[in-house]
């Protein structure tokens, strides 16, 4: 190893990995280190650039808290998170999309048809649909987690004026796979751009806007868990999402309703909704978990 | 962008970069993101692996302090730091080697011939040589920074029992380019392996040892600054340095001396050295800074 050169160092790294290395770990590391080393060789990366990169990562570490994960955000704006979603998304079924940095555990239970809107300001929306298999049959035992921004474009964990679990809920569905809840239209928002991710965005002339969306996690026994987002078809940022999360099949129409009759049966919120309000209908198609 | 796929996302990223993007930044980002995306596509990286990677980075952030930079260490054990050194090292001149995570600013001045050993235990060594250009002519105005481990294998900023700047110094050289100082033999040591870097080393059956070495930074007006390390030729870890820092031309012989006459003129320490002790002679060859 005392004769390591820029052309032999990648093999030297691989030779260091002992026989006890897990084969998958070895494969992933081989690809990772080969690409990392090729990147340095192809760019002749300078010490100043290496330090700048480390400095960005250190700043990301400094700014990361349980409420704000700058590393996830960096992964998002580089397209890494979306790409991991895409290489793991089966061709059939509803596409996945980024989890994002604002998910928190412990969202409160809401009955199907329940009201997540509560006292939040904003245009009222009734979201409904079903969780089904690729043939359209309802899936039993499905659960849904939902979270979104308030009308000011902030999630509850970014905004002290909101209750801890504002606009977050967890639904346990019946055997019919039907979900419905009332909420507000989510607002477009900017990803935090006051840290190293913002530095990267500004340096490359990128804006930090994401199109408005609802986040969902859908689980059911025997099926692949689905982490996804759905977007209103009239959002101005659909074609320039800062985190590459939009998929054509995740864009859905918000239908403006002026008649109270459009409210589905069994909605808690019915008596409190004032026209105009919106309805949006969207089915989640899960695929079977591979053995 | 609402039709982004795993095959188009890399181009989508590049298309986001505006015309105002600095051309070098654009080039570096293009290479970085292309390699990062290819890595994900070639490995079909799973969400669990992506989360594991992020978790390692987050842990590195948690453990990083002004005294311990786990990100630099991660770069070191992946061979990234050494590779950056190598692609930036001119073919002539003394090779560079890794800065490492233990350098601190503000090392105290020591006159040429001064005693850095002080009361440190360990085998005494007189280190001397000159700073010269590729033709062997002394370079005027050179300065040297030196740092190393104590006999217990720890740097002063890892070890509360040492004074803040123990075994660290800064020499301003005369027009003859000569440096000399007395110190102790540095000890082999392990890089910290109680954090995420250790997790990686253990998972791949790697040990955390580095061969013993002295760290140097050499600067002189009009010349490329040199960050390097020099290694004793009898160190047992020369062929398996955890951070890929050894270069054949940085390995030097420690000559055991039994006669006090081997102490060069003008050494502060002469009267306090007890035989046996070592001498090591090593010239640093700097190359001119490109315009």
- The domains of chain A are located at 9-66, 80-285
Least confident of A55-59, A108-112, A183-187, B258-262: B258-262
Q: Which chain A positions have a beta carbon within 8 Å of B10's beta carbon?
A: 79
The predicted pLDDT at position B148 comes to 97
The answer to whether the CB atoms of B60 and A61 lie below 8 A apart is: yes
Confidence of residue B271 (pLDDT cuts 50, 70, 90): low
Q: Please state whether beta strands B124-132 and B277-281 pair in parallel, antiparallel, or not at all (unpaired).
A: parallel
Cα A21 to Cα A11: distance, rounded to the nearest angstrom = 16
Of A20, A22, A28, which has the smallest distance from its Cβ to B43's Cβ? A28
Confidence of residue A200 (pLDDT cuts 50, 70, 90): very high
Residues A135-168 have pLDDT tens digits of 999 999 999 999 999 999 999 988 999 999 999 9
The answer to whether the CB atoms of A87 and B37 lie below 8 A apart is: no
Confidence of residue B273 (pLDDT cuts 50, 70, 90): low
Q: Which chain B positions have a beta carbon within 8 Å of A247's beta carbon?
A: 2-4
Cα A220 to Cα A172: distance, rounded to the nearest angstrom = 10
The answer to whether the CB atoms of A71 and B54 lie below 8 A apart is: yes
Confidence of residue A270 (pLDDT cuts 50, 70, 90): low
- As for the ipTM of the complex, it is 0.85
Which has more confidence, A261 or B69? B69
The predicted pLDDT at position A269 comes to 74
Over 70: is that where the pLDDT of B275 sits?
no
Confidence of residue A275 (pLDDT cuts 50, 70, 90): low
Cα A70 to Cα A80: distance, rounded to the nearest angstrom = 14
The stretch B69-89 carries a mean pLDDT of 93
Q: How remote is the C-alpha of B158 from its chain's centroid?
A: 16
Nearest chain A Cα distance for residue B244, angstroms: 7
Over 80: is that where the pLDDT of A262 sits?
no
The predicted pLDDT at position A183 comes to 95
CA-to-CA separations, B13 to A204, B7, B43, B50, in angstroms, rounded: 10, 12, 20, 19
Which has more confidence, A3 or B144? B144
Number of helices followed by number of strands (H, E) in chain B: 6, 13
The stretch B186-200 carries a mean pLDDT of 94
The predicted pLDDT at position A101 comes to 77
The stretch A242-248 carries a mean pLDDT of 93
Cα B79 to Cα B200: distance, rounded to the nearest angstrom = 13
B80-285 adopts what CATH topology? Protocatechuate 3,4-Dioxygenase, subunit A (2.60.130)
Q: Which chain B positions have a beta carbon within 8 Å of A217's beta carbon?
A: none
């Amino acid at each position: 190893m005392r004769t390591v050169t820029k052309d032999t160092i990648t093999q030297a790294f691989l030779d260091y990995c002992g026989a006890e290395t897990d084969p998958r770990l070895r494969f992933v590391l081989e690809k990772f280190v080969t690409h990392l080393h090729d990147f340095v060789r192809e760019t002749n990366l300078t010490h100043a650039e290496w330090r700048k990169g480390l400095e960005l990562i250190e700043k990301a570490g400094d700014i990361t808290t349980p409420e704000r994960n700058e590393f996830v955000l960096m992964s998002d704006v580089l397209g890494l998170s979306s790409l991991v979603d895409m290489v793991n998304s089966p061709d059939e079924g509803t596409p996945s999309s980024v989890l994002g940095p604002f998910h928190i555990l412990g969202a409160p239970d809401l009955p199907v048809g329940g009201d997540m809107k509560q006292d939040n300001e904003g245009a009222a929306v009734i979201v409904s649909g079903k969780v089904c298999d690729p043939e359209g049959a309802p899936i039993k035992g499905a659960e849904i987690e939902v979270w979104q921004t308030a009308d000011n474009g902030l999630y509850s964990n970014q905004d002290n004026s909101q209750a801890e679990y504002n606009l977050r809920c967890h639904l346990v569905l019946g055997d019919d796979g039907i979900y419905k809840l009332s909420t507000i239209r989510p607002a477009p928002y900017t990803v935090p751009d006051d840290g190293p991710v913002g530095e990267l965005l500004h340096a490359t002339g990128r804006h930090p806007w994401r199109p408005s969306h609802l986040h969902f996690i859908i689980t059911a026994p025997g099926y692949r868990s689905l982490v996804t987002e759905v977007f209103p078809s009239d959002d101005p940022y659909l074609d320039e999402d800062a985190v590459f999360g939009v998929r054509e099949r995740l864009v859905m129409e918000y239908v403006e309703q002026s008649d109270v009759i459009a409210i589905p049966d069994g909605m808690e919120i019915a008596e409190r909704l004032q026209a105009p309000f919106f309805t949006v209908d969207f089915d989640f198609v899960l695929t079977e978990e591979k053995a």
